[in-house]
Structure 1
Amino acid sequence: MLIVLAFIILFHLAGAIVLFVATIHNAWWVVSPAGRDVIYTDLWYSCNSTCYPVENSHTTEAAYLQAVQASMILASILCCVSFFVFILQLFRIKQGERFIFTAIIQLLASLCVMIAVSIYTAEKKSFHVASLRDGSYGASYILAWISFPMTLISGLMYLVLRKRK
């Protein structure tokens, strides 16, 4: 049982790390113009040799981008809260009970990741100025999609898991 518990904790922490890296790292969109430096764009900045804020990110035209930003931050927070609730429930709930509250929080984190990445996928062209539209998805975008099933599976594991001696 201790091995299963260690696996669940490590899987949750791995999912949280992937989620944090996807949120923070600056490679959601990558543009490689001919003869110039590669431009990496994340949810807040576009960077080549210098970084500058994503154009119009503070306006109502960027409401989609703001929704992606908020959803990824909320998913990161919920994932951390879920881990702390799991540790607390590990010592508080009675033998034989399930980790329902932890599972609900983790499934909400998974839902937030799915919402954020889906919005980014659907509206990617509206986020970027014309010079950046001919790019491709970057590593952070892929990590965000990887963090979705990791948080979902983690939440489902908490639903199934019962406290034992």
Structure 2
Amino acid sequence: MLIVLAFILLFHLIGAVMLFVATIHNAWWVVSPAGQDAVYADLWLACNATCHPLANSHTAAATYLQVIQAAMILGTILCCVSFFVFILQLFRLKQGERFVFSAIIQLLASLCVMVAASIYTAENHSFHDDSLKKGSFGSSYFLAWVSFPVTLSSGLVYLLLRKRK
């Protein structure tokens, strides 16, 4: 049982690290013009040699960008809270009970990540200025999509897991 618990904790921590990197790293959108330095854009800034805010990111027309930012931050926070709740429940629950509360929090975290990545997929060309139009999705975008099934399966494992001897 100790080995199973170690794998569950490791799986959860991998999901949390993936969410942190996807939220913080500056590579949601990448433009690589020929002969020039690549331009990387994340949810807040576009950077090449210097960083500048995304065009119109503070206006009402770009509220979906603010929703993406909020959903990714909320998903990361919920994933961390779920981990701490799981640790608390590990020592507080009676034998045979399930980790339902930590599972619900983890499933909400995966829902937030899915919402953020889906909105970014649908609206990514709307908030990029003309210099960023001809780009492609970056590593942080793909990491966000990979972290969705990781957090979802982690939440489902918590839901099915019973405390045993």
Range of TM-score over shorter length: over 0.9
Q: What's the counterpart of residue 70 of structure 2?
A: 70
Deviations 1:25-65 (A, max 9, x none): 00000001233210000000100011111111111111110
Q: Distance in 2 between matches of 1:65 and 1:6?
A: 37
Q: What's the counterpart of residue 51 of structure 1?
A: 51
Q: Distance in 1 between matches of 2:34 and 2:67?
A: 32
Q: What's the counterpart of residue 6 of structure 2?
A: 6
1:1-165 to 2 correspondences below 5 Å: 1-165=1-165
Q: Distance in 2 between matches of 1:35 and 1:55?
A: 24
Residue 157 of structure 1, CA deviation: 0.3
Amino acid at match of 2:163: K
Q: Distance in 1 between matches of 2:131 and 2:13?
A: 38
Q: Distance in 1 between matches of 2:163 and 2:25?
A: 36
Unaligned 5+ runs, structure 1: none
Normalising to structure 2: TM-score of the pair?
0.98
Normalising to structure 1: TM-score of the pair?
0.98
Deviations 1:114-137 (A, max 9, x none): 000000000010020122111000
Unaligned 5+ runs, structure 2: none
SS in 2 for 1:43: coil
SS in 2 for 1:115: helix
Tell me the matched-pair count. Answer: 165
